[in-house]
Chains A and B, each alone.
Chain A
Amino acid sequence: MPFKQYVIVGRRLPDPKRPHKAADDALYKMIIYAPDPIKAKSKYYYFLSQLLKTKRSTAEVVSVTEVQERNTTRVKNYTVWLRYQSRTGQVNMLKEARATSVAAAVESIYQDMAGRHRARYESIQILRVQETPSNQCKRPATLQMIDPHIRFPLPHKLQRASSRALRTTFKAKLPVTTITK
C-alpha cells in the first residue's frame, strides 16, 4: 500500500467542566505519512496526546488533506529524521532515501526500518523529512547512486512472464538467470 502525505488539522474539544485555556482555541496542524487517512488520523491522535492531555473522545480532526506532490518523475535525495522504539530503548536516527516523492521516501524508510531493525509502523515516529542537495548527502548508499557516471551490470536476472496470465508454476526448461551480456 503506497504511503501518502496528509496534512491534518485538529483541536482539543472544549470541556464545559474545565476552565477555558489558550490551548482550547488552538488548532494543531501536522504532516502525517500514512497509507490511508484512517491510519493518518490514528497517528494524529497519538501525537496530539503527546502534546495535550487528550484522547480520541476529547479531540477532533477538523480536516484531512492529502498532499499531491509535483514532479514525481525526478529523483530526489531525502533526509529523514526519525525516532523509534527499539527492544532496548528510544533511538534517534538520520536516514537517507532516494525517491521521487516525499511519501515514497518515507515509505522506503519504513521498509528499511522493518528490514534492518525489525521496527514496525507503530514504533516509528517520522520527525522531519527534507530534500537534500546531492553535495550534502552523507550515507554511502546514497552517495554511490549520486555518481554522475553511474553504470552497473545486472548479473542475475530472472525472466518473468510478460503478464500474470502467462505465469506458470512449472517450467519445461531450467531458467537461465546469468546474463553475461
Chain B
Amino acid sequence: MAFKRFVEVGRICLISYGRLSNQLCVIVDVMDQNHVIIDAADGSPVQRQVINLKRLNLTDLVVKLPRGCKSKTVHKVMAQEDVEAKFAATAWGRKIARQRLRAGLNDFDRFKVMVARKRRSYLIGQELGALRKERSGGA
C-alpha cells in the first residue's frame, strides 16, 4: 500500500507525548530525518519548537506553507484554512473530543451516562425483540 501521510512542510500533526499531547500543530521546517520544527495556530499552547518525530503523529491534513515561514504566516494560514474545525470533523478528531469530554465528567455525569447507556440498550432490545417476533410470526 502506498503511503498517504508524509513528513512535509505544512503537514498537520498531533503531538503525542507530554504536556502538549493531543494538541494540533503544523510542520514548518524539516531539520533532519528525526527532527522537525513545528508551530501552531494563534492562541494554541504549542510554541514554535524543534520536536522529535517520535513525538508526533501525522494526520491526513496538509496546508500550504512556505518552508521555514514566520509564526505570523502560520497563524494566518491556520485560521484561513480552519484547520481546527477540519480536524474536529474527522473520526480521529471526534474521538479526541469525546475522550476530552469523558475525562472532564464528574461522578454524577458518569452516572447519567450509565443511565443513558442502559436506556439505549433497553430500547435497542425492545426494537430487536419486536423485529424477531415479526420475522418468526411471518415465517
Same complex for A and B? Answer yes
Instruction: Give residues in A with beta carbon < 8 Å to B.
Output: 73-75, 98-100, 145, 148-155, 157-163, 179-181
Q: What residues of A have a CB within 8 angstroms of the CB of B46 in the complex? A: none
How far in angstroms is the closest Cβ of chain B from A3?
Answer: 14
Contact present for A73 and B49 (CB under 8 Å): yes
B54 touches A160 (CB 8 A): yes
On whether the beta carbons of B3 and A180 are closer than 8 Å, the reply is yes
Dominant SS at the B interface?
loop
Interface core residue of A75, A100, A150 (most chain B CB under 10 Å) = A75
Instruction: List the B side residues contacting A163 at CB < 8 Å.
Output: 17-18, 21
Q: Is the CB of B6 within 8 A of A75?
A: no
The interface size bin for chain B is 20 to 34
Secondary structure at the A interface, as helix, strand, loop or mixed, is loop
What residues of chain A lie closer than 8 Å to B64, measured between beta carbons?
A: none
CA distance in complex: A149, B49 (Å): 21
Chain B contacts for A179, CB-based, 8 A: 5
Supply 26 A–B pairs (Cβ within 8 Å), ascending by A.
A73-B37, A74-B68, A75-B29, A75-B30, A75-B37, A98-B32, A100-B37, A145-B30, A145-B31, A145-B33, A149-B8, A150-B9, A151-B6, A152-B7, A153-B5, A154-B53, A154-B58, A157-B54, A158-B54, A159-B16, A160-B16, A160-B17, A163-B17, A163-B18, A163-B21, A181-B4
Decide if B48 is an interface residue (CB 8 Å cutoff): yes
In the complex, besides A155-B3, A180-B1, 17 extra interface pairs with C-beta distance below 8 angstroms are: A73-B37, A73-B48, A73-B49, A75-B29, A99-B31, A148-B67, A150-B7, A150-B9, A152-B8, A153-B6, A153-B7, A160-B16, A160-B55, A163-B17, A163-B21, A181-B5, A181-B60
